[in-house]
Structure 1
C-alpha cells in the first residue's frame, strides 16, 4: 500500500497546513499528518474512487463529497498522483480517459496522448544505419513527446466536469507543498532510477539526497516547484503550460538537457519547439464498442490498441463456453486468442491520422469466425502467430496486407512491464463514471525533471516501433506530429444499458492481458471483483519465443500444470499490472477495488460506506 502520509480530516478533506518554500528536504517541523487507513476494497454509495495511492483516492473522494462529479474526481486524483507517484504519471505525460455521461446515457473518450515534435523525422532516431540503442534513446531529449495531460485535464473538466481546473488542482498543490513520507515502493522506484537521476542536476536535487542516494524510507519529501507549477496553471490557465514560462522551460530542458557536470552519460538533445507545445490538441474519439456474452464493452480507440485488441480477443473467445470445459482448457483458448489478437494489433494498429486502421474488419464477427480457424483448441502454438486479413471484412474485397518488416528491437512497453503508468477509476452519485489511464511511459520517464518546475518529462517516443531501416513500413513507426501506439485499456462494461464494471491497469502491453484476464475471472469464472483482480496472472502477447509471461503464483497453480500438458510454457515476469476497478452492484451500491499487494497495493474508498 502507498503509505506516504498527508493531512486528511475525518471527513476526508485535504485541508493542509502552510507549504514549505524550500527545496525538497528530509524531516521538518511541518510533517504530514496521518492519512486514512488505506484499504484495497470499499463498498457503499454516493460515489467511489480507486487508485494506487491513498492520497489520490482521498482527493477524489473530497471532490465527490463536496458535490463534484466523477470527472472532477478523476482529474483531482491524477494531479495528486503527479506528486506522490511521479515516476508513473504527471503533468509531463498524457493518457486516455473513457467516461460515461449519465444524463446523456453515452460513453465518450478523450485522447490526450503525447505527440511527436514536428522536427522528429524518423531518420533522427537512427545512427550508423541502425536504431539508436534503447538505453540511449530513453534517457534523452529525443524520447520526449509533447505532453497532453494538462490540456486533457482541462478539456475533460470543460466538456464533462463541474469544477474548473483551478479548483480541482488545489488538493495536489497542498500535497506538493506539505510533502509525503517515502515508503518502500517509492524508495525502490527511486533506487532503480538513481543512476539516471544523478546525471541531471534537477532530478538529483529533487529525488536524491546530498550523498546521491535515494531518500530513506520515512523521509518527508516536498515539491514546492511542482506546487508552483500547478499554481501557475490554476492562476493563468493552460497558456502558462503550453505558451508561457513552463513551455519555455520544457523546450530548454529537451533541447539542452540539464546534465550534471562530469557525468559520463551521452545525452542526445531533442527537437521540441515552442510551436509544438502551442499546437498540441486533444481529440474526442468514439469508443470502440463490442459485445461479449450479452455484455457491451466500451474501450479506447487507436492510437490506443487496448480497445480493439480486447474486442478481437473476446470475439474469438465467445465461441467457447467456460462452463463446458475445465478452467485450464478455457484459459488455453484465451491465451491462444490473445496470441492471435496481438498478431493483428502489431500488424495493423497505429495513429489513425497516419495509418488506415481496418477497425470495422477487426471488429467483425465474421472476421473472428474466420480467424478462429488458426486457433488450435488441443495444443499451444509452437510459432508466433502471423496476422490475419481483416480487409475483406471492411465491407469490400481487398488484397491481403503487405507483410511488415521485422522490427529490429522490441518496443519500450515490451521491455518495461509493470513499473510505469497508473490507472484511476471513479464514479459519482449521479451515475457518471470515469476509467482513466495516464502515464509518462517508462518508470521515471526520460529521467529529466524540468528545472524549477518539479515534474519529470515523458519518454513516450520510445513507444514507437523502429524497423531495421528508416525506410521500412510499419504502422507504428515514428513521424512528425504522430501519436505512438499505446496499450492503455480503460474499459467500461454494461449490460442491458446499465453499468456493470469500470476498470483499467498499468503495465505496458500487459495492460491488455491484465484487463482481459480480470474480465474472464469476473464474467466467466464468477469471481467477485476484488478476487478477480487479485488472482495470479498470465500474459500471452505473441512473443517470438512463444512463451507466456506469468506471475509466480500462476506458474505454481494447477492450471499452469494442465496448460503445460497442452504445450504452454511460461516465463516468470514477476507482478503483472496494478488494476483498479469499480463494480456496480444490483442493490445500488458500488464496490471500489484496488490491488491488495502489487506495486505496494492500492487504495479504494466510497463516500458513504456500507457494511456487506
Structure 2
C-alpha cells in the first residue's frame, strides 16, 4: 500500500542542532544519515519513523513497526504468534537475540497430529485449535523494551492503536490474501465478521477498522505483559483454542491450552549464532530456528568456490547445490536445543563444509535429494553422544511460506533485524473474539511423523526457518537482511547474501533478483516468469530443474551501512505489493 509519508516535527534536544525528517514519499529504497527502517507496509515504516523522531531507539521503533504490521498485515504476523529478534547493541558492540517462538501446550504429545496411526491432513490440522502454539510475541516485545529499549508499551503501541482505530484502506495485495483465505476464514464466525463480506473477501478500497485489536493493544499498553498472559486476553485465547468460535455447522479439532501455558511462557535471550564469510562476521538466530545455522552452513560450503570469478550461471548452480546439501543436514539434525542435542558445532565447522563441498559437481546438478552428512565426526564437543540415523525417506510436514520481516537502525548505531509470524497466511484462521487478532498455527511446524528431532512435545518450540541476520565488517554493522517465506526464508537470505557479496549487486538489485529455492529436492522452486528465461536456460544446462507451479518467494527487507556514514534502507521493489523504506536525514 503506497502512502505518502508525513514530515514530523523534531522532538529532540535543541543542543543537537539537528532536524530529523524522513522521505516525503514512501518508496522501496531510501538513503540518509539518521535512523532507517524497511518493512513491507508503509504505515508500519511510518510508525517506526515516528518513534525514532520522538527519541526512541531502534528497539522501540522495531516494536512499533511490528505492532502496526499486526494491523496492516494480520495474515502473516501479530500478537497471536511469535518470532526471533536479532539486535546489535552499538554501545556494547555485541549482538544478542530474543527467541520468542511459540511453544507447545503442556498437554502436547508426539501423536498430536496423528489419528488411527496416520498423520492427519495438513490443511485440516492448520484450521483448528490444535494448531495453536502458546503465543510469544508480546513477551518478546516486553523483553526487548525492558532490556534494550528506551520506551514502554504505552508509547510504542500508540501508532498501531491509531491505525487500528482509524482504519486503513484495503489494497489489492490485502484483497488477494483475503481471497486465498476465504475458505478457512468462513469456518470461524469472528474472522468472517472482520475480514469477509457475505463470505467473500473485502474489496480493494474498503476502509478496514479493527476496534478489537485496538482494545487488545490498549490493554497491553495499560497493563503491560501480564495483561496478555494472565488477564482477560489470556482467558479469551484459551477459550478460542479449546472451543474454536466456529460458524454454524462447522466442526474443527479443538486444542488443549491452559491458562498456565500462557502464564508460564518464557522468552529466551540467546547468544547470536556467529559465522564468517569472506571477511564478514554474520550473526543470526540459533536453534530452535534452523535459519541461522543453515545459511551459515551453505555459505561455508560456498566459501571454497571463487564465485566472483565465475560466470553467473555457474555461480548460481553452485549456490543451488550448496543449498541442497545444507538442507539435507538441516532436515536431519536440527530442532529445539532444549529437547535435542543437535551436532551444531560439527555442522558449522569449515572442515565439515569442505567434506560436503567435495560432493558438488561443478558441471552437473544432483539428480534429486541427497543424503545428510555426518557432522558428528567434526563435533569438537564430546557432550553430544547420540547419533540418530537420518531417514531420507521420511516425509517432512509442509512449512508455510508466510511471515514478515522488518529491520530498523537508529542514529546511535543500534540495529534490529526482526522476523515474526503466525505461520500460514491467516494462521489457524481463528480471530480471538473481542480482541481482533488471529491465532497462529505454529504447531503444524512440527513434523507429524517420527522418529524425528522435530516431533511435537510438551513445551517444545517447533523448528523454524526464520533467519534475521546482521553482518559486521571490521567490527561495525555492514548490512542486515531477512525475509518471510517458510523454508524459503533460508534460501532468500542465502541468495541475497551471495548476490550482494559475491555477484557484486547493489542491495536493491540483490533483493529484487529472481529467487531460486533449492531445498534438497529434485526440482527447485522458482518465481513466475523465470521458466524459459535466459537465466533459466543457462542453469538447465547444468541439469537444474524447476517446479511446475511457480510462486512468489519471500518479501525481504535490508539495511546497508555505507562507508560514507549513510545508511540505505531497502525493501521489495515488486513483491508483496512493494515495500517501504524510510530514513531520517540530518540537516542544520
TM-score bin (small chain): over 0.9
Equivalent residue number for residue 323 of structure 1: 308
Query: CA contact under 8 A between 1:407 and 1:466: conserved in structure 2?
Result: no
1:428-507 alignment, distance < 5 Å: 428-467=410-449, 472-507=450-485
* Residue number among 161, 164, 167 corresponding to 2:149 in the alignment: 161
TM-score (norm 2): 0.95
Match runs of 1:148-227 below 5 Å:
148-209=136-197, 211-227=198-214
Q: Contact (CA 8 Å) 2:10, 2:54: kept in 1 or not?
A: no
Whether the aligned pair in 2 keeps the contact of 1:412 and 1:442 (CA below 8 Å) is: no
Preserved CA contact (<8 Å) 1:441 1:460: yes
**Partner-residue secondary structure (3-state), 1:156:** helix
Q: Hey, what's the Cα distance between the residues in 1 that align with 2:111 and 2:483?
A: 33
**Which residue in 2 is equivalent to 1:566?**
542
Runs of 5+ in structure 2 lacking a partner? 12-22
- Measure the CA separation in 2 of the matches of 1:340 and 1:73: 38
Q: Secondary structure of 2:569's match?
A: strand
Quick one: structure 1 residues 262 and 320, their matched pair in 2 at CA, closer, same or farther if it must change by over 3 Å?
A: same
Corresponding residue for residue 24 of structure 1: none
1:574-610, CA deviations, whole angstroms, 9 ceiling, x for partnerless residues? 2110000000001000000100110111000001189
1:579 aligns with 2:556: yes
Stretch moving more, 184-193 or 122-131:
122-131
Equivalence for 1:231:
218
CA distance in 1: counterparts of 2:295 and 2:199, whole angstroms = 43
SS of 1:307's partner is helix
- Map 1:370-389; keep pairs closer than 5 Å: 370-389=355-374
Instruction: State the match for 2:17 in structure 1.
Output: none
Give the SS at the match of 2:304: coil
In structure 2, relative to structure 1, the CA distance for the partners of 1:437 and 1:399 (3 Å cut) is: closer
For residue 606 of structure 1, give the secondary structure of its aligned residue in structure 2.
strand
5 Å matches for 1:202-281? 202-209=190-197, 211-263=198-250, 266-281=251-266
Residues 385 and 132 from structure 1, CA distance in 2 versus in 1: closer, same or farther, beyond 3 angstroms?
A: same
Deviations 1:489-527 (A, max 9, x none): 000111111111001000110001001111111111111
Q: Deviations over 1:118-145 (max 9, x none)?
A: 0011223211110111111000000000
Aligned to 1:30: none
- Partner Cα separation in structure 2 for residue 316 and residue 400 of structure 1: 25
How far 1:552 sits from its partner (Å)?
Answer: 3.3
Alpha carbons 2:372, 2:390 under 8 Å: kept: no
How large is the Cα RMSD of the aligned pairs? 1.8
Q: CA deviation at 1:410?
A: 3.8
Secondary structure of the structure 2 residue equivalent to 1:108: strand
Pick from 422, 426, 434 the counterpart of residue 404 of structure 2: 422
For 1:262 and 1:575, locate their aligned partners in 2 and report how far apart those are by CA, in whole Å: 35
Q: Give the 4+ runs in structure 1 shifted more than 6 A.
A: 396-400
Residue from 547, 554, 573 that aligns with 1:596 = 573
Write the distance in 2 (CA, Å) between the matches of 1:150 and 1:70.
17
| Residue equivalent to 1:93 | 81
Using the TM superposition, give the Cα deviation of residue 12 of structure 1 relative to its aligned residue in structure 2, in angstroms.
Answer: 8.0
Among 7, 10, 14, the residue aligned to 2:7? 10
Task: Report the Cα offset of residue 212 of structure 1.
Answer: 2.0
Give the Cα separation in 2 of the matches to 1:609 and 1:389.
53
Find out whether 1:362 has 2:338 as its counterpart: no
Encode CA deviations 1:10-52: one digit per residue, 9 max, x unaligned.
Answer: 32899xxxxxxxxxxxxxxxxxxxx963200000011000000
Cα deviation, residue 451, structure 1: 0.4
**Contact 2:86/2:95 (<8 A) preserved:** yes
Relative to the length of structure 1, the TM-score reads 0.91
**Which residue number corresponds to residue 26 of structure 1?**
none
| 2:326 matched residue in structure 1 | 341
Go from structure 1 to structure 2 and tell me whether the alpha carbon gap of 1:381 and 1:445 turns closer, same or farther (over 3 Å shift): same
Shift of 1:165: 1.5
Instruction: Look up the SS of the partner of 2:111 in the other structure.
Output: helix
Measure how far apart 1:362 and its partner are. Answer: 0.9
Distance 1:204-1:319 versus aligned 2 partners, 3 A rule: same
Following TM superposition, by how much is the alpha carbon of 1:406 offset from its aligned partner in structure 2, in angstroms? 5.7
Counterparts of 1:77-92 in structure 2 under 5 Å?
77-92=65-80
* Offset, 1:375: 1.6
Equivalence map 1:119-130=2 (5 Å) = 119-130=107-118
Match of 2:388 among 402, 410, 415: 402
**Is the contact made by 1:391 and 1:400 (CA closer than 8 Å) also made in structure 2?**
no
